């Protein structure tokens, strides 16, 4: 749907202030960045700071730690399986390394595990590549330009972005392995945008002190996923099981991780997979819609890996912080929540209120930027009302062409240009309407810089892990995280598997113990997790779901 007449009238205010804003930008007269004190104050408007939005966990390794209700509901829930009834003697699949998750981290882990001599099974909930990686747009950070940048500056930016709460060893690993990760991807055939032959394009993102964001147009994640998925599918040592999410980890008689139970979504069978080591790479949890926010995340992003790891005794870290990407589409309604890459702001697009005025520098760290949007639009009442009853902030994409020359937006943002064109909106001429959208799970399972966890034989890679980004991740460090820590986890798991002693007995006793804890605390008896898929069934449809008895695949 194109902009309504009312919105077209409001766009005129954006146009009225554009020439002066462009002139200022050309002279480097940017709206100043907030001081550290001002940022702290601003963050009070961030959803993470709503005390009523979270509660302390009553069970498990991180008992007492307060996290979002939506996540707590899943951690404090019963398994899909009855541990007493599951038949674990009959093993359906046996392998060296089981990788759970078919996005960027899982696929990188599978490749590295195979390269290090392991036989690998990669199990994924939907199709291989249905993951947040595929939907990542703006870029991947790495200090590849040694004349202007170094992992040292990258380290400081990551720490600053995370408000210096990040786990230093994890950040060190992230930035030190970054240049080699880009080389790895390039050698596998990833087509990053080049500004001249052999020299990769690089841009700023919010909170970066150097231009180190490498990209493939505005479809960077899709290009990375295409590259590594092709690679994994061509490796004989890797078997991919699609539509087969894991629902529970399996431990052996020594309490080590020794496989998982998978659920075949077509036949509704549970499969027992025995493995010498397991890599958890299930990604994030945007589909929990924490505090009712829309999301950029793919359909399967329901936090499953955190649930399984937690039941097996791995603590969680940084789950009290959630990333809301400042610029999710709020118009047209059909694409609500969709990521509008930060690269637009990196390329110079201002953000504006209903009067066409700037109210914050467009390159503040994400949490500060999102909090500023919420303050301006909802507290100060200067948001732009949408026909669906929401509010938005203008993102002035047309000013990029004024700054960089006609054709720049179409060339550098082909994904968004084509998408909006389908709705009758030309983003080279009309701004986009945006609002914060749930984007990233800053926290997750606790893990070490070699990918290992407190549970022997259990490795973690990518968004399911917590600590790399502290309380706030900067743009372009998630694609980097999945490649760096996916590879680290795959390599670590292969090494562990090579030395692992045989497992005589697989067990779900940890699940039985967790159930007992839930019962003792009187919580979660009525809930089941992992969620696997979000439920968007409206109440009026639920009212008509009269089936009293489920049988076979008839759902």
Report DSSP letters for 326-344, one per residue: EEEE-SSGGGTT-B--THH
Q: Could you tell me what percentage of the chain is helix, strand and coil, using 3-state DSSP and rounding each to the nearest 5?
A: 35, 20, 45
Q: Near ligand MEZ by CB under 6 A, which window of 158-166, 335-343, 464-472, 487-495?
A: 335-343
Q: Near ligand MEZ by CB under 6 A, which window of 71-79, 177-185, 339-347, 410-418?
A: 339-347
Report DSSP letters for 383-402, one per residue: SEEPTTS-EEEEE-THHHHH
Minimum Å gap between C-beta 138 and ligand MEZ is 3
Q: Is 500 helix (H, G, I), strand (E, B) or coil?
A: coil
Residue 444 touching ligand MEZ (CB under 6 A)? no
Residue 500 touching ligand MEZ (CB under 6 A)? no
Q: Which of 144, 295, 442, 478 binds ligand MEZ (CB under 6 A)?
A: 478
Residue 181 touching ligand MEZ (CB under 6 A)? no
Residue 367 touching ligand MEZ (CB under 6 A)? no
Q: Which is nearer to ligand MEZ, 256 or 481 (CB)?
A: 481
Q: Cα 75 vs. chain centroid, distance in angstroms?
A: 19
Residue from 42, 345, 363, 366 carrying the catalytic annotation: 345
Minimum Å gap between C-beta 407 and ligand MEZ is 21
Residue 343 touching ligand MEZ (CB under 6 A)? yes
Residue 102 touching ligand MEZ (CB under 6 A)? no
Nearest alpha carbon to residue 275 among 493, 82, 58, 46: 493
Report DSSP letters for 29-69, one per residue: -PPPPPPHHHHHHHGGGSGGG-GGGEEE--SSTTTT-EEEH
Q: Near ligand MEZ by CB under 6 A, which window of 58-66, 168-176, 243-251, 470-478?
A: 470-478
Tokens, residue 134: 């595929």
Residue 341 touching ligand MEZ (CB under 6 A)? yes
Residue 139 touching ligand MEZ (CB under 6 A)? yes
Q: Which of 75, 120, 136, 246 binds ligand MEZ (CB under 6 A)?
A: 136
Catalytic, 21? Answer no
Minimum Å gap between C-beta 326 and ligand MEZ is 9
Residue from 46, 163, 325, 363 carrying the catalytic annotation: 325
Minimum Å gap between C-beta 88 and ligand MEZ is 39
Minimum Å gap between C-beta 367 and ligand MEZ is 13
Q: Is 446 helix (H, G, I), strand (E, B) or coil?
A: strand
Size of the site for ligand MEZ (CB under 6 A): 11
Residue 362 touching ligand MEZ (CB under 6 A)? no
Q: Which is nearer to ligand MEZ, 339 or 374 (CB)?
A: 339
Q: Which is nearer to ligand MEZ, 149 or 342 (CB)?
A: 342
Nearest alpha carbon to residue 214 among 179, 164, 257, 263: 179
Minimum Å gap between C-beta 555 and ligand MEZ is 34
Nearest alpha carbon to residue 314 among 520, 97, 466: 466
Residue 476 touching ligand MEZ (CB under 6 A)? yes
Residue 223 touching ligand MEZ (CB under 6 A)? no
Residue 138 touching ligand MEZ (CB under 6 A)? yes
Q: Are 107 and 286 in contact (CB under 8 A)?
A: no
Report DSSP letters for 299-310, one per residue: TT-S-HHHHHHH
Nearest alpha carbon to residue 510 among 241, 261, 226: 261
Minimum Å gap between C-beta 223 and ligand MEZ is 13
By beta carbon distance, the residue nearest ligand MEZ is 138
Q: Are 245 and 81 in contact (CB under 8 A)?
A: no
Nearest alpha carbon to residue 290 among 392, 104, 442: 442
Residue 204 touching ligand MEZ (CB under 6 A)? no
Nearest alpha carbon to residue 441 among 476, 461, 465: 465
Cis peptide before 354 (omega within 30 of 0): no
Q: Are 314 and 61 in contact (CB under 8 A)?
A: yes
Instruction: Tell me the C-alpha distance between 278 and 460, whole Å.
Output: 8
Nearest alpha carbon to residue 219 among 339, 367, 394: 339
Residue 342 touching ligand MEZ (CB under 6 A)? yes
Residue 475 touching ligand MEZ (CB under 6 A)? yes
Instruction: Tell me the C-alpha distance between 225 and 486, whole Å.
Output: 13
Residue 326 touching ligand MEZ (CB under 6 A)? no
Q: Which is nearer to ligand MEZ, 277 or 294 (CB)?
A: 294
Catalytic, 515? Answer no
Pairing relation of β-strands 246-251 and 257-263? Answer: antiparallel
Tokens, residue 441: 């799970």
Q: Near ligand MEZ by CB under 6 A, which window of 96-104, 151-159, 341-349, 384-392?
A: 341-349
Which residue numbers are catalytic? Answer: 325, 345
Q: Which parts of this chain interact with ligand MEZ (CB under 6 A)?
A: 136-139, 339, 341-343, 475-476, 478
């Amino acid at each position: 749907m194109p902009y309504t007449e009312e919105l077209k009238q409001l766009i005129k205010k954006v146009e009225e202030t554009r020439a002066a804003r462009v002139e200022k930008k050309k002279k480097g007269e940017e709206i100043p960045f907030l001081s550290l004190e001002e940022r702290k104050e601003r963050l009070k408007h961030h959803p993470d700071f709503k005390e009523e939005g979270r509660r302390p966990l009553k069970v498990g390794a991180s008992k007492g730690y307060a996290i979002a209700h939506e996540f707590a509901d899943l951690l404090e829930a019963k398994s899909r399986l009855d541990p007493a009834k599951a038949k674990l003697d009959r093993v359906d699949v046996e392998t060296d390394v089981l990788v759970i998750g078919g996005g960027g981290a899982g696929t990188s882990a599978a490749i590295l595990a195979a390269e290090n001599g392991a036989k690998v099974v990669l199990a994924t909930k939907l199709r291989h590549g249905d993951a947040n990686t595929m939907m990542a747009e703006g870029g991947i950070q790495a200090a590849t330009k040694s004349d202007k940048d170094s992992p040292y500056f990258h380290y400081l930016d990551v720490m600053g972005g995370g408000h210096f709460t990040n786990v230093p060893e994890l950040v060190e690993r992230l930035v030190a392995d970054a240049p080699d990760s880009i080389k790895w991807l390039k050698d596998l055939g990833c087509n990053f945008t080049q500004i001249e032959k052999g020299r990769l394009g690089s841009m700023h993102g919010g909170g970066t002190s150097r231009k180190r964001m490498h990209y493939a147009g505005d479809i960077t994640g899709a290009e990375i996923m295409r590259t590594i998925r092709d690679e994994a599918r061509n490796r004989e040592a890797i078997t991919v099981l699609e539509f087969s999410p894991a629902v529970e980890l399996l431990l052996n008689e020594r309490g080590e991780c020794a496989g998982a139970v998978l659920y075949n979504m077509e036949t509704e069978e549970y499969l027992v997979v025995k493995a010498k080591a397991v890599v958890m790479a299930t990604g994030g949890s945007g589909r929990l819609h924490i505090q009712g926010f829309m999301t950029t995340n793919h359909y399967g992003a329901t936090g499953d890996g955190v649930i399984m790891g937690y039941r097996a005794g791995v603590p969680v870290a940084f789950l009290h912080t959630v990333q809301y990407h400042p610029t999710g589409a709020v118009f047209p309604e059909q694409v609500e929540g969709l990521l509008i890459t930060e690269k637009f702001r990196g390329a110079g697009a201002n953000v504006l209120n209903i009067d066409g005025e700037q109210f914050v520098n467009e390159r503040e760290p994400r949490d500060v930027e999102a909090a500023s949007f919420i303050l301006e639009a909802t507290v100060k009442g200067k948001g732009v009302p949408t026909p669906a009853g929401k509010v938005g902030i203008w993102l002035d994409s047309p000013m990029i062409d004024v700054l960089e020359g006609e054709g720049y937006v179409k060339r550098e943002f082909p994904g968004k240009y084509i998408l909006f064109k389908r709705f009758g909106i030309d983003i080279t001429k009309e701004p986009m309407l945006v609002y914060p959208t749930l984007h990233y799970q800053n926290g997750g399972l606790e893990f070490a810089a070699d990918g290992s966890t407190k549970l022997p034989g259990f490795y973690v890679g990518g968004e399911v892990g917590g600590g790399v980004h502290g309380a706030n991740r900067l743009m372009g460090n998630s694609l980097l995280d999945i490649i760096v820590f996916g590879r680290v986890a795959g390599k670590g798991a292969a090494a562990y598997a090579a030395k692992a002693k045989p497992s005589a007995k697989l067990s779900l006793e940890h699940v039985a113990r967790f159930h007992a804890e839930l019962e003792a605390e009187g919580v979660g008896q009525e809930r089941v997790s992992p969620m696997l898929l979000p439920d968007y069934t409206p109440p009026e449809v639920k009212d008509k779901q009269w089936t009293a008895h489920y049988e076979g695949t008839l759902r």
